[in-house]
Amino acid sequence: MNPYVVITCHTEEKKTSTASGEGEDPEWNDSFLFTVTHGCDEVHIKIMDENTFQDDDFIGETTIQLEEVFREGEVEATMYDLYNDDENCGSIKIGLTFTREEVT
């Protein structure tokens, strides 16, 4: 398995590197910066398995509500369940930080 993560906030999408050969217990230590605009109140996480000669396979997904990170400024690394067709298919550990942009 060669998994990677696609993170979407509103219309902005980012992708981790592929954890080649890491099987069912991959680890990413990637950081991403999103510009959060009005109407972006959740982050969608999708795990994919990269294939060379065919379309990548969907593994699972979850949606993280951003209300707590907006209020607290940070959510420590937390386990989120992943689902594929409403069936639990694993979990992913993600930490979030929110920093307000200063308007001058």
Report yes or no on 41 lying in a domain. yes
**pLDDT tens digits for range 26-79:** 989 889 988 887 778 999 999 999 998 999 999 999 999 999 998 899 999 999
Q: Which of 11-25, 49-63, 80-94 has the lowest mean pLDDT?
A: 11-25
Report yes or no on 103 lying in a domain. no
Report yes or no on 104 lying in a domain. no
CA torsion sign, 92 to 19 to 24 to 50?
positive
Domain holding 83, by residue range, is: 3-97
From residue 86, how far is each of 14, 61, 82 by CA, in Å?
Answer: 24, 10, 9
For residue 104, name the pLDDT band (cuts at 50, 70, 90).
low
What is the pTM assigned to this prediction? Answer: 0.87
What CATH number is given to the structural domain containing 9?
2.60.40.150
Report yes or no on 69 lying in a domain. yes
Report yes or no on 30 lying in a domain. yes
What's the total number of domains in the chain? 1
Q: Which two tokens stand for residue 103?
A: 């308007």
pLDDT higher than threshold 90 for residue 16: yes
Report yes or no on 43 lying in a domain. yes
Report yes or no on 102 lying in a domain. no
